[in-house]
Amino acid sequence: MLIMKHHVKNVELTGRADLHMHTTVSDGIATVAAMLDHVAKRGELDVIAITDHDRLEASLWAYAHRDRYPFEIIPGLEVTTRDGHVLALWCTDPIAEGMSLAETCSAIHDQGGVAVLAHPFEPTIAPKASWRYFRQPQVLVESGVDAIEVFNAGAFTPGNNWLAGLVFKNSPLPFVGNSDAHMPASVGTGITHFRGKTADDLRTSLKHGWTAAEGKPWGLTVYLKLSLIMIPKKLNGSLETNAPSARPTLT
């Protein structure tokens, strides 16, 4: 297990969060209920967030049913921006796709949310932006980013997480680690350690930099399993709509 922390001194990080996972509402292969049941069964996480690509249905369903689960749930989504993917945590309203990093962060802050730059050096997502973050890491602070996902267990390109830890070593922004799970088995492969146990504690920790990122990359079998499932889905062109039974009923 790789652990990345900075600025954390004499603070005990007892809480464990995984703030980045997908369901069938975007490109995950399990329903939100299946993901949450799995988290409950594993019993290792104190706080989680369901963050589908640009879609809130599953996350809002999870948040609405949070009393059923023995861990805390933060609502949010993974926003597709011009400058990469941004996790919008504590957000319950949609956020437009395709905006700049700064515009996205300000839209997140407008609804009281927290903006986390996801997998900053995944070159397949927004290569120009990644290059800018590499050359000018201070751009993140200037754009209003609140935390950096320096460990993403699903980051496919080797060295990606290592590079993030290195480039942002001197950044004032707190580090988070997440699984980016697209199936139950991957939940918890990336962890954000924080001070305390609750979602409120996590928010306070992010404000003060009391966090650390930890994780192990998805195994090759996870990628194989996912691609075997995802390729036929894509060929059918039914990525968005193939799981009507999985759609949570919004109340």
| Part in contact with Zn ion (CB under 5 A); list of ranges 62-70, 88-96, 113-121, 135-143 | 113-121
Which residue number, 11 or 90, has a Cβ lying nearer to Zn ion? Answer: 90
Give the number of residues in contact with Zn ion, rule: CB under 5 A.
4
Distance CA 58, CA 49 (A): 10
52 binds Zn ion (CB under 5 A): no
* Cβ 57 to Zn ion shortest distance, Å: 16
Q: Check binding of 180 to Zn ion (CB under 5 A).
A: yes
Pick between residue 19 and residue 206 the one whose CB is nearest to Zn ion. 19
User: Which of 84, 28, 103, 26 is CA-nearest to residue 57?
Assistant: 26
In whole angstroms, the minimum distance from the beta carbon of 77 to Zn ion comes to: 10
At how many degrees (to 10) do helices 160-167 and 127-135 cross? Answer: 40
177-to-1, 28, 243 alpha-carbon distances in Å: 12, 19, 29
Least distance CB 85 / Zn ion (angstroms): 4
Supply the minimum distance, in Å, between the C-beta of residue 225 and Zn ion.
17
Question: Which residue of this chain has its Cβ atom nearest to Zn ion in the complex?
Answer: 85
What is the β-pairing status of strands 2-5 and 84-89? unpaired
Which residue among 16, 55, 85, 193 contacts Zn ion (CB under 5 A)? Answer: 85
**Among candidates 119, 50, 48, 1, which has minimal Cα distance to 129?**
119
Segment near Zn ion (CB under 5 A), from 142-150, 172-180, 190-198, 210-218? 172-180
Q: What is the DSSP string of 83-143?
A: TEEEEEET--S---SS--HHHHHHHHHHTT-EEEE-STT-TTT-HHHHHHHHH-TTHHHHH
**Structural tokens at position 49:** 């967030």
55 binds Zn ion (CB under 5 A): no
Q: Which residue has the tokens 């879609």?
A: 55
Give the residue with the Cβ less far from Zn ion, 76 or 137: 76
| Closest separation in Å from C-beta 166 to Zn ion | 20
Which residues in this chain contact Zn ion in the complex, by CB under 5 A? 78, 85, 118, 180
